[in-house]
């Protein structure tokens, strides 16, 4: 919401950040509450093509302006604002700007390569393998091949952000160095309303001030599509988790009608808490919202990733080990997060008075540490407690995924699924027959009752029974994990291709095209042009 509000704030020339947030919330809440998962998936599919198409247009137009990739490499290093802090190199692009995997020492590198490879992995495993937003979509797939194919397609699409987001953001700094690259607090506040940095405004600035008026409207719809896609996914998934995992503990016999109403109400509560979190983000994100997001993931995601990896590979792991491992990892991560929030990150030109473990212990290194702390606690507690029953391992680990035996909880799951899908009111059955076999005339439901059913997502037609039968067949297909050979070979081949391509990209973008002296020569020339002769 915060990132979306920044864009709307600049696009609509609104000075009040919370007004932009309210506008976003009204749209996304209506879409999620009234539409549910089906609306989220359909809108995501449509918005995917809108986002990719609009972003590709921005990329091509912006690259044309700076002389394509080779021109960007040199011009970005010289993208220095005209107003700098005295006797400081703040505001100068980093020497390693064109290196993706950077020096391992966190004192000289903002993204050490060992920390990135080992620390980002737990966050990625959590988000792409265990996060409800992703799992919910995979579980809604028609078959295993569709699920794997959609995942691989998302992997190919995930290569695009470097070209359609990162590079245009760098081009924005080249075109608007005084605004996007500002370091003086007063100048930054004048341009974007933040005294820390205006780097969060790089992409909106490029769209709103460089593109023609018609494309501005298209890109506004692109940004809104991306924001609504994320927010609707989060709201829908969070309400599902709360209803099925928390509310069911207090109301184990709750019917589908009550569960749907609970989920809708929880979305409203989640919206309120999201608004209350905005001031914390404003204070702690330090002008780099993406870094803030990655830091939060590094504090909270590794315990989930560790538990997920152990759960699918180690059959001995039990519930007690998973619980206490998660608790240990969660407490450790929250303590680091609170300390980080309390001290905050100093400005580039200010002295760093934070404790040594915050200065030297990069958040990506901490993510690696947190991952192995969780693994250790899970293993120790699991070995000290009795193992789970054998039937609980059926189709729940990688090695038992093809087990065809029937689980004891299959019937319970089937009944719960039917209860969720059977949307007819129990007081007004849809298919009621008389003794001689004719269907009894259906009583007309009052308008306020029909509106209530529509609001909660209840269906008053025969489609509910058909949907239950289709879901039963769908569950049976999923438990078989059946795939045609050609589908399996094709998907595995596409997986190998994307792995090789990504390894090639990492290698290419980890070789700095400039030496340190070449970078300094480019920057000295620009500084001399601006009238600064004593900085480098």
Q: What is the 3-state secondary structure (H, E, C) of 26-89?
A: HHHHHHHHHHHHHHHHHHHHHHHHHHHHHHHHHHHHHHHHHCHHHHHHHHHHCCCCCCCCCCCC
Q: What tokens appear for 382 in the block? A: 């699991």
The reported pLDDT for the residue numbered 32 is 60
490: phi > 0 → left, psi -120 to 50 → alpha, else beta; which?
Answer: alpha
The reported pLDDT for the residue numbered 14 is 59
The reported pLDDT for the residue numbered 428 is 46
Pick among 2.10.70.10, 2.40.50.140, 3.40.50.11540, 1.20.1730.10: CATH of 2-114+160-286+525-530: 1.20.1730.10
Whole-number Å distance between alpha carbons of 410 and 413: 5
Whole-number Å distance between alpha carbons of 523 and 536: 8
CB atoms within 10 A of CB 402: 10
In this structure, are residues 513 and 519 in contact, taking their beta carbons and an 8 Å threshold?
A: no
Per-residue pLDDT of the chain (536 residues; tens, 9 = 90+): 666 666 666 666 655 666 666 666 666 666 665 655 566 677 777 777 877 887 888 888 889 888 888 888 888 888 888 887 776 777 788 888 888 888 877 777 778 888 888 888 888 888 888 877 788 778 777 788 888 888 898 888 888 888 888 898 889 888 888 888 888 878 787 777 777 777 877 888 887 777 777 777 777 766 666 676 667 667 777 777 787 777 777 777 766 667 777 777 777 787 777 777 666 665 555 556 777 778 888 898 899 999 999 998 988 999 899 999 999 999 999 998 888 878 777 777 777 777 877 777 888 888 999 999 999 999 999 999 998 888 888 888 888 877 777 777 766 666 665 555 554 444 444 444 444 445 555 556 666 666 656 555 555 555 555 555 665 665 566 566 677 888 889 999 999 999 999 889 888 888 888 888 888 888 888 888 877 777 76
The reported pLDDT for the residue numbered 468 is 57
Nearest to 166 by CA among 71, 69, 292, 294: 69
Q: What are phi and psi of 326, to 5 degrees?
A: -65, -40
The reported pLDDT for the residue numbered 411 is 66
Residue count (the chain): 536
In this structure, are residues 300 and 330 in contact, taking their beta carbons and an 8 Å threshold?
A: yes
Q: What tokens appear for 238 in the block? A: 């969070």
For the chain, how far is it from start to end, CA to CA, in angstroms?
Answer: 40
In the three-class reduction of DSSP (H, G, I as helix; E, B as strand; rest coil), residue 102 is classed as strand
0.75 cut: is pTM over it? Answer: no
Whole-number Å distance between alpha carbons of 89 and 195: 18
Nearest to 314 by CA among 373, 385, 400, 372: 400
User: What residue has token string 């979190």?
Assistant: 277
In the three-class reduction of DSSP (H, G, I as helix; E, B as strand; rest coil), residue 112 is classed as strand
CB atoms within 10 A of CB 33: 22
> In 481-495, which positions are buried (b, 16+ CB within 10 angstroms) versus exposed (e)?
eeeeeebeeebeebe
- Residue spans per domain, the chain: 2-114+160-286+525-530, 410-433+444-480
The reported pLDDT for the residue numbered 425 is 44
The reported pLDDT for the residue numbered 212 is 74
The reported pLDDT for the residue numbered 243 is 79
The reported pLDDT for the residue numbered 54 is 78
Whole-number Å distance between alpha carbons of 345 and 337: 12
The reported pLDDT for the residue numbered 418 is 57
Q: What tokens appear for 84 in the block? A: 């700098």
């Amino acid at each position: 919401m915060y990132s979306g509000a920044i864009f709307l704030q600049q696009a609509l020339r609104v000075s009040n950040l919370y007004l932009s947030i309210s506008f976003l919330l009204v749209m996304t809440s209506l879409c999620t509450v009234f539409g549910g998962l089906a609306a989220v998936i359909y809108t995501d599919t449509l918005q995917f093509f809108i986002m990719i198409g609009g972003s590709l247009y921005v990329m091509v137009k912006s690259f044309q302006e700076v002389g394509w990739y080779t021109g960007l490499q040199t011009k970005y290093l010289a993208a220095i604002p005209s107003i700098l802090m005295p006797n400081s190199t703040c505001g100068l692009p980093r020497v390693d700007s064109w290196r993706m995997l950077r020096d391992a020492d966190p004192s000289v590198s903002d993204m050490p390569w060992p920390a990135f490879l080992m620390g980002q992995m737990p966050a990625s495993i959590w988000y792409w393998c265990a996060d409800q937003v992703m799992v919910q979509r995979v579980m809604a797939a028609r078959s295993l091949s569709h699920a794997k194919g959609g995942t691989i397609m998302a992997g190919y699409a995930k290569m695009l952000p470097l070209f359609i987001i990162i590079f245009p953001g760098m081009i924005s700094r080249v075109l608007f160095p005084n605004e996007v690259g500002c370091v003086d607090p007063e100048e930054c506040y004048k341009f974007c309303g933040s005294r820390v940095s205006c780097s969060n405004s790089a992409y909106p600035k490029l769209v709103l001030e460089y593109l023609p008026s018609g494309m501005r409207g298209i890109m506004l719809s692109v940004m809104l599509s991306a924001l609504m896609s994320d927010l609707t996914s989060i709201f829908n998934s969070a309400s599902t988790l709360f209803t099925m995992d928390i509310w069911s503990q207090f109301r184990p016999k709750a019917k589908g009608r009550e569960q749907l109403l609970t989920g809708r109400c929880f979305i409203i509560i989640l919206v309120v808490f999201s608004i209350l979190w905005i001031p914390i983000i404003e204070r702690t994100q330090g002008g780099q919202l993406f870094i803030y997001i990655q830091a939060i993931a590094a504090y909270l995601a590794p315990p989930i990733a560790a538990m997920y990896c152990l759960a699918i590979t180690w059959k001995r792991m039990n519930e007690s080990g998973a619980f206490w491992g998660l608790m240990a990892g969660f407490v450790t991560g929250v303590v680091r997060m609170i300390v980080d929030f309390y001290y905050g990150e100093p400005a580039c030109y200010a002295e760093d008075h934070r404790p040594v473990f915050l200065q030297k212990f990069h958040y990506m290194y901490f993510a690696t540490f947190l991952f192995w702390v969780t693994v250790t606690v899970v293993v120790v507690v699991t070995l000290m407690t009795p193992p789970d029953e054998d039937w609980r391992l059926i189709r729940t680990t990688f090695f038992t995924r093809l087990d065809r035996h029937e689980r004891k909880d299959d019937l319970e799951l089937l009944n719960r699924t039917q209860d969720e899908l059977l949307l007819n009111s129990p007081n007004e059955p849809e298919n009621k027959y008389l003794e001689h076999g004719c269907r009894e005339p259906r009583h007309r439901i009052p308008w306020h009752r029909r509106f209530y059913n529509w609001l909660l997502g209840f269906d008053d037609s025969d489609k509910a029974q058909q949907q239950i039968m289709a879901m039963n067949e769908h569950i049976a297909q999923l438990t078989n994990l059946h795939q045609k050979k050609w589908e399996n070979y094709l998907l595995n081949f596409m997986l190998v291709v994307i792995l090789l391509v990504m390894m090639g990209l990492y290698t290419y973008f980890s070789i700095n095209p400039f030496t340190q002296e070449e970078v300094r020569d480019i920057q000295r020339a620009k500084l001399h042009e601006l009238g600064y002769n004593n900085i480098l």
